[in-house]
Structure 1
Amino acid sequence: MAKPHVLVIPYPAQGHVIPIMELAQRLIKQGIRITVINTEVNHKLVSNNWSDKEGFGDLMQMVWIPDGLEPWEDRSDIGKLTLSIIQTMPHKLEELVNMINKVDSCKVSCIIADGCMGWAIKVANKMGIRRAAFWPASVATLASILSFQKLIDDGFINKKGIPIKHQIIQLSESMPPIKPENLGWASFKDVATIESSFLLAKECEEASRMTEWFICNSTTELEAAAFSLYPKLLPVGPLLASNRLADQAGHFWKEDPTCLTWLDQQSPCSVIYIAFGSFTIFNKTQFEELALGLETSNKPFLWVVRPGMTKEATLDYPDGYIERVGCRGRIVSWAPQQKVLAHPSVACFMSHCGWNSTLEGATNGLPFLCWPYFADQFHNETYICDIWKTGLRLDKNEEGIITREEIKSKVEQPDQLPGQKSDLVLHDKRESRSPY
């Protein structure tokens, strides 16, 4: 009897690829054959940075289909990338499925697609293939997407997803509140990107009505209210929580393991870990304020400064900065984050509040300093600061800058940082930690 053959399709962003790759590996352990389909650019990145990809034998293969953009075009332009994906990838996926079924005795039996790739669910439905959607982010964010028509009817957004009312949205009494401008698709700076992102939201909602399963990288312990609002959603997460110390698949950049050796040399619960994911971009002023805030805090820190994190072509630290922070500050381009967050020297996590980072921090009982950038990160900040009460917001000044004084103040107030063991710590519970 032929093995089930599942095609897995992530949205082409770091925070989407990593959890769906973890899901793929879980399915392989059940004897299911998996083909992971990335865009060409991301296929090369994932393949180059995953050392264990050959360990699954014929149960795992990785292929790519084009996203429609030329190699030199800017894929951080989310609006442009979104429209290109919708126009190009459905036909290419259909061609790939037909080719696999023609030449491979193990025909495609199911497609699991990221909820932001709802077009793939439509392709599976058209071809008569079983299908499931996968949601890598918070269910609160997904609930707002599935409720988009209600948001239109209630006057919060127009038919193109643009916020038109500034009243707080609360989908149910127990759901975290959200400002209309912080909805996942509405948190971008320009109207064109909001409108194209809203197309993904509408396709996600439409695809949800074509799926046999809608599986979510979350758990009812974390998001009881959101799951009760949409009982069809199936919790299977947190996928990375039980794999905290293993090497992850799906990274776009090479991890720097030497930072773990540096952490070994620090005192327990002393280090600030700073990481903002794969999309956050700072202007020169904000980058300098962050650098100086970490310096003046007089705390040891591990700071992830990935390529492309600033608008300038080259990183521009304040004059003499690297020499002044010396061995107290460690800066890397990409870190083995789960291993860092599990390290006993780490005291708190300054984060963009991406869902993977949120789950990883909660799993390790860490308090957060929250610095959301866009999309679902504002929902997650609300969970951390207002619902779970495991972190603090970093507040912007009138110019929209989080100043060095604000950073220093929040870092130096351990009485405000929740230091007790959180009830949210999942699976491998750790000892109570008190910052500093």
Structure 2
Amino acid sequence: MGALTAVSILFAAFFVLLFAGVPISVSLGVASFITALVFLPWDDSTYIIGQQMNVGIESFSLLAVPLFIFAGNIMNTGGIARRLVDLALVAVGRVPGALAHTNVLANMLFGALSGSAVASAAAIGSTLHDRQRKAGYDPAFSAAVNIASAPTGLLIPPTTAAIVYSTVAGGVSVSALFMAGYVPGILMGLVIMVIAYVFTRRQRYPKVERVTVGEGFRCLLRALPGLLLIVVVVGGIVFGIFTATEGAAVAVLYTLVLSLAYRSMSWASFTDVVTRTIVSTGIVMFLIAASAGMSWVMAYTGIPGAITDALLSVADSQAIILVLMLLLLLVVGTFMDITPAILIFTPILLPITEEIGMDPVQFGMVLILAMCIGTMTPPVGSVLFVGTGVSGESIERVVPKLIPHFVGLVLLLVAVTFIPALSLGLPGLMGLLE
């Protein structure tokens, strides 16, 4: 009865505050404190919640989050997006609907470098928007392709989503999570490309003029320094040369030197990058601190165990449990961003998946992919709003074009959930799984 009371108070308070317009981090903290007061005296509740919030962000590995945010912000203003678009255009320029495929490939490359779906949607979308319009592409279709492909960078490493999940899940290997993200991330891009190919074949969108070998080589050379960041950072982390936090510091230094070499960053733009990094870091860290308080309340009142027992008693089939979990995550993704969703639902769902035999690394990929889909769906999809804003199209026109992508990505999510090799195969081959 204690767990039932606690879960009722906790989530009722959280959703009331959330729908009242209170910021999600504040809603988490206040809901946790209210629930703690039901079971503990005022002094104990105040002390313990405050202590747990402090402990939640007192982690060396979490230092990687602001550093990767900093590196991503530097890339946004460092002239890297244009070089990646040119390289992607060389790679897929002869395919029907080449600019749509260029958008997908450029988002995969830039998203992997920046680690931000919103940054990818803004940078790549704005770079290709005028070119697509002049080529006769339907702006709503172009926006849909950009929105659907921008979140691929949340799966393809290096990604802060994997670092946050690793911390919340109790030290799941960041190296294993990074390697696990490659296949689902690449498959996500390929699914969107296939759907775009079918549409562009019907519309007879043009190919791009053939590029000479020399021009293609020059595009590769211009983009190669940016691409090497993935090799340096991910390779260094996976092979134990440095930790994820040290890799993030290397990423900051590398992107800063690269931007200076490109002469694309002024002192004014650098101060703007620092300011945006400080603001983003404050938001993320306060979210993590507040969720640490909520995690303690849930553990103290036995909420995860009670939810696990209830779900296992209702459904004795592993397949049914996984389908129910996917439905929950897809619904959650429609109104919650990826970081708070990971922070809130990892402590609840991870014990259930471990009980039915799912590896924590695989669950991390399922969770992140489900939240990637959520970023492109209304009513609170952050990438949806950025993508439509860049294109100048209304959400009402773009959403119907997104439906085929949504269906394809949901099918991919089901595949990643029920085929462990899609996420565990690569880290398993590299000996990164425990």
Structures share a fold, TM > 0.5?
no
TM-score by length of 2: 0.30
Instruction: Compare the two structures and name the one with the higher strand fraction.
Output: 1
Instruction: Compare the two structures and name the one with the higher helix fraction.
Output: 2
Which structure has more RCO (C-alpha within 8 Å, separation ≥ 6)?
2
TM-score by length of 1: 0.30
